[in-house]
Amino acid sequence: MTDRVSDEPRSWRRELVDSMVDAAMLLSSDGRVLAVNGAARDLLSMPAGDGASGSRDSLTDPELLRAVAEVRRTAAPVTVDTSDGNRYLRASASMVSDETLLLISDRTQEKRVEELRRDFVVNASHELKTPVTSIQTLAEALTVVVHEQPERVPALVARLSDEAERLAALVHDLLDLRRLEERGPLEREPVDLAELARQVVGSQVGRAEAAGVEVWVEAPDHVLVAGVAGDLEVIVKNLVVNAIKYNQVGGTAQVRVRPRERDVELVVEDTGIGIPQPDLPRIFERFYRVDTARSRETGGTGLGLSIVRHAVEHHGGSIQVESCLGEGSTFTVRLPGERDLGDA
């Protein structure tokens, strides 16, 4: 008789909890797990149930246990956050008759985005502080030097101008990154990547000559991709500028554009300083630099490649890098060809 009485509501509960889309579990007044659905098992890494009863399951997370105890004590709903180091969960506990219902949601992704944002603000403020402080110091020095040592003025003004340029580049890159991150679906149109590569390389000839690097493009007359011209220019320009900046006197930077069967390939290959293998997976992160001094010296912001990656991914493309220290690097970008516009 007792069995029958306890079995009936138990299966009813199980059905209710199973029918919920969100992770849910129901606990008895003495803390036993009466029912738990698949989503909750996944989130709490509980072994799959035998389908007969949840009684062999137990709740072990201390925060969740605390929530269950508190809701039972106060009868008011309680919300807690918990983590096993990998996953971040939020659970709300409430009383349903004399049992406790726990609803659990996975906040891992949200938490990662929050962390990324926080790191970004910290890093961006730090990066901005450097040129701003230099500009302040140089401006103060100028007000004194202009009267007492006027011969030093040109050198100070040149440094001031360099720092202002660095600040402008940083603000420009930060805005580019924000624009790429926050915008909706792309309005793509056919863009001639071969022509664009020739234009970009043409605009960097002065920089290449100053660095003693020879730069050229190998491409058919026209290669059409489905994209946003401004973004594609940002991609090519950042890669070409890096191929010149991280090169050596007498080195080369080669840009190749070629149509492939389903997409278009852009390769930027240099004979520069190369990138150590352990750094390769990190160079697309914001503000990551292999050699901070060299990046700063050459006006780098540490944002170029993360902007490139965002722009490429937004286009549904991919980017890969191969590099050999002291010998050079090759960045290969694949972008959807023009016919992708027709398919869409």
Positions touching ligand ADP (CB under 6 A) are 238, 242-243, 246, 270, 272-275, 283, 288-291, 295, 300-306, 329
- Smallest gap from residue 318 Cβ to ligand ADP (A): 17
Q: Which is nearer to ligand ADP, 21 or 210 (CB)?
A: 210
- Smallest gap from residue 330 Cβ to ligand ADP (A): 9
Q: Which is nearer to ligand ADP, 15 or 322 (CB)?
A: 322
CA dihedral (35, 59, 88, 67) in degrees, to 10, reads 90
CA dihedral (91, 95, 100, 103) in degrees, to 10, reads -30
Burial of residue 127, with CB atoms counted within 10 A of its CB: 0-12 exposed, 13-18 middle, 19 or more buried: buried
Q: Which is nearer to ligand ADP, 254 or 329 (CB)?
A: 329
Q: Which is nearer to ligand ADP, 104 or 235 (CB)?
A: 235
Q: Which is nearer to ligand ADP, 80 or 283 (CB)?
A: 283
What b/e readout covers 133-165, taking b as 16+ CB neighbours within 10 angstroms? ebbeebeebeeebeeeeeeeeeebeebbeebee
Q: Which is nearer to ligand ADP, 45 or 203 (CB)?
A: 203
* Distance from C-alpha of 340 to C-alpha of 19, rounded to nearest angstrom: 41
188 within 8 A of 226, measured Cβ to Cβ: yes
- Smallest gap from residue 315 Cβ to ligand ADP (A): 18
* CA 206 to chain CA mean position, Å: 33
Q: Which is nearer to ligand ADP, 76 or 168 (CB)?
A: 168
Going by DSSP bridges, is the β-strand pair 189-192/33-36 parallel, antiparallel, or unpaired?
unpaired
- Smallest gap from residue 32 Cβ to ligand ADP (A): 55
Q: Which residue has the tokens 């926080």?
A: 118
Best CA proximity match to 242, nearest among 152, 171, 333: 333
State both tokens at 117: 């944002």
Q: Which is nearer to ligand ADP, 183 or 294 (CB)?
A: 294
State both tokens at 168: 């402008």
Sign of the Cα pseudo-torsion (13, 14, 15, 19, in order): positive
- Smallest gap from residue 170 Cβ to ligand ADP (A): 9
Sign of the Cα pseudo-torsion (209, 210, 213, 216, in order): negative
Q: How far is CA 191 from CA 160, 224, 228, 233, 315, in A?
A: 39, 5, 7, 10, 12
- Smallest gap from residue 167 Cβ to ligand ADP (A): 14
- Smallest gap from residue 266 Cβ to ligand ADP (A): 14
- Smallest gap from residue 291 Cβ to ligand ADP (A): 5
Q: Which residue has the tokens 């049992």?
A: 99
Q: Which is nearer to ligand ADP, 190 or 274 (CB)?
A: 274
- Smallest gap from residue 319 Cβ to ligand ADP (A): 12
